[in-house]
Chains A and B, each alone.
Chain A
Amino acid sequence: DAGVIQSPRHEVTEMGQEVTLRCKPISGHNSLFWYRQTMMRGLELLIYFNNNVPIDDSGMPEDRFSAKMPNASFSTLKIQPSEPRDSAVYFCASSSYGYTFGSGTRLTVV
């Protein structure tokens, strides 16, 4: 089992550009979560899916953020347009009975 796979590991982009983060959950896990981690705010839940359906997106900061899960093995988190305050580490986690986190994507918006 390769665990939860996130790509890219690091992303540096210019303000205003579109950024897409990707996540492949563990096969058989029916829930997927996107978290953002910053020094100031800690770990924040952005959105979670159950059986590919978005259940709670109340943590998505604004309309610039969107997430999709077209099938059970893939999810994306998109930021358009990106801003410097979006710089953070973004984690994906999948869950069956317990959570498994990916290694994260470190996003820097300059």
Chain B
Amino acid sequence: AQSVTQLGSHVSVSEGALVLLRCNYSSSVPPYLFWYVQYPNQGLQLLLKYTTGATLVKGINGFEAEFKKSETSFHLTKPSAHMSDAAEYFCAVSDRRSGAGSYQLTFGKGTKLSVIP
């Protein structure tokens, strides 16, 4: 079974400060890893994903995440927070061996990011 732990249900940063949202996972096989963002009253949008290859993954809106197998982590960062980054962020893991030609995502509980002017 796979699981995702996001440390901190709520993170506040000042505008222009570093954003760091933590995600740890457990998986019995090499996982696919994802970060999604959810703005109020909207669905989830994909920020970035790791499947294979380079462990530092760049996504939209200046976000990036690094897959660290030894730490079972996939933390999300952005060098300088912008007011528009205020949203809820979800880390997700997939067992790439899920069958039937598709894969299931298991989501963390989410981290709500507030950006202080």
Contacts and interface: CB of A to CB of B under 8 A. Distances in A.
A45 B104 contact: yes
Contact of B102 (A42, A43, A91, A95): A95
A48 B106 CA distance: 13
A31 interface: yes
A101 B43 contact: yes
Contacts of A55: 99-100, 102
Where chain B touches its partner, the secondary structure class is loop
A98 B49 contact: yes
A93 B99 CA distance: 18
A43 B104 CA distance: 13
Sorting the interface of chain A by its residue count into under 10, 10 to 19, 20 to 34 or 35 or more gives 20 to 34
A91 B104 contact: no
B46 interface: yes
A104 B88 CA distance: 15
A99 B101 contact: no
Interface in B13-49: 34, 36, 41-46, 49
A31 B44 contact: no
Contacts of B90: 43
Interface residues of B, number: 22
A98 B33 CA distance: 11
Contacts of B34: 99
Contacts of A56: 104
A104 B102 contact: no
A101 B101 contact: no
A48 B107 contact: no
A103 B42 contact: yes
B105 interface: yes
A73 interface: no
Interface of A: 4, 30-31, 33, 42-43, 45, 48, 50-51, 53, 55-56, 91, 93, 95, 98-99, 101-104
